[in-house]
Copies of this chain bind each other. A is one copy, B any other.
């Protein structure tokens, strides 16, 4: 398939949180909705573009988990691994949106199946790196393709954008 020769193939937005809760199964047919929750740590909103492959994941995950994007209780900027904090991964296809007139288009986004596969590999690699760093804190993640019903409590989100 045609790879994009220019521009990023993945976009992430990072926010630190005191706690975050995300719906992973909507309540349907009388069932209760199911949620996951993390305490202190980092929310990673992630979107893959056309041309993204698993090749980018090692650098991408290592960068996100090791960049100093979080504030320690001593007021020092540290990585989520150093904090140490939990991680909540939120698939967020809207991040690939481009304005056309008053509407948003998502033509640059990766296709559904490739996206789902990459997302699963991304989550799994985050989990591995967290464990390799000795962290026993939870990594939670949203369900690809679902509505991401999210509740966030922060002491300053320190919102960052990282593209790969």
Q: Which residues does A use to contact B, with CB under 8 Å? A: 11, 13, 45, 63, 66-69, 77, 79, 92, 94-95, 97, 99, 102-104, 147-162
Selected A-B contacts with CB under 8 Å, 9 pairs: A92-B159, A94-B158, A95-B159, A95-B161, A148-B154, A148-B156, A149-B154, A152-B152, A152-B154
Protomer copies: 2
Q: Given known contacts A45-B159, A148-B157, A154-B151, is B77 in contact with A104 (CB within 8 Å)?
A: yes
Are B155's CB and A97's CB within 8 A? no
Of A99, A157, A162, the most chain B CB neighbours within 10 A belong to A157
Are B69's CB and A159's CB within 8 A? no
- Which one of B95, B103, B161 contacts A77 once the chains associate, using CB atoms below 8 Å? B103
Q: Given known contacts A11-B161, A94-B160, A160-B94, is B150 in contact with A99 (CB within 8 Å)?
A: no
